[in-house]
Amino acid sequence: MNHAGTVKKTITARAPPDRVWSIISNIAGLPAWAAGAKKTTYLSKKRRGVGAARLITFEDGSRVEEHVTSWKAGESYTYVATSGLPVRAYVATISIRGARRGTEITWQSFICADMKEKEFAGFLAFMGSFYDSSLGNLKGLLERPRCK
């Protein structure tokens, strides 16, 4: 059965937007903060912007290929997964905006999959947990004191 759904998680980090952007816009820098990401390699000569591509290898050995499809420097980027996920479609956006006490970071996705309803609900829950853990790691990284 075909199901579609969305996952959206937001966190606020006590860090300026330019610092947050410098970390999230490094699309191969996921092992520093994405839950379970072991290694990320570029699949394109382009490192930033539309057309940049990456291959993420997770600690469990799974691999996901992603391609950037939209890029608003300093604000957001959107990417699609082209392989490695048990879905028909996965499109996600990571965006930032200045907040009263730092920067608000939002990670949201649209997912379409040919699964049983209960299985799909479990997959959405898994992705929500992955986003929560990853954003928590990112917040910790951003709020860690830096040496000057």
Q: Is it the case that residue 148 has pLDDT exceeding 90?
A: no
Work out the end-to-end distance of the chain between its first and last CA atoms, rounded to an integer number of angstroms: 55
Q: What confidence category does residue 127 fall into, taking pLDDT thresholds of 50, 70 and 90?
A: very high
Would you say residue 43 lies in a domain? yes
Q: What is the pLDDT of residue 145?
A: 80
110 contact partners, CB below 8 Å, separation of at least 6: 4, 5, 6, 89, 90, 91, 92
Question: What is the CATH classification number for the domain harbouring 95?
Answer: 3.30.530.20
Q: Check: CB of residue 4 under 8 Å from CB of residue 122.
A: no
Residue 96 burial (CB count, 10 A): 21
2 contact partners, CB below 8 Å, separation of at least 6: 88, 112, 113, 114
Would you say residue 147 lies in a domain? no
Average of pLDDT values for 36-44? Answer: 97
Q: Tell me the CA distances in angstroms from 56 to 3, 30, 46, 141, one per residue in order.
A: 25, 8, 16, 20
Number of domains in the chain: 1
Would you say residue 123 lies in a domain? yes
> pLDDT tens for residues 47-81?
999 999 999 999 999 999 999 999 999 999 999 99
> pLDDT tens for residues 5-32?
999 999 999 999 999 999 999 999 999 9
Q: Which domain holds residue 126?
A: 2-142
Instruction: Report the predicted TM-score, pTM, of the whole model to 2 decimal places.
Output: 0.94
Would you say residue 122 lies in a domain? yes
Q: What confidence category does residue 147 fall into, taking pLDDT thresholds of 50, 70 and 90?
A: low
Would you say residue 115 lies in a domain? yes
CA dihedral 133, 109, 29, 100 (to 10 degrees): -70
Would you say residue 148 lies in a domain? no
Q: Helices 17-24 and 117-143 meet at what angle, rounded to 10?
A: 120
> pLDDT tens for residues 80-101?
999 999 999 999 999 999 998 9
Q: Check: CB of residue 12 under 8 Å from CB of residue 99.
A: yes
Amino acid at residue number 112: C
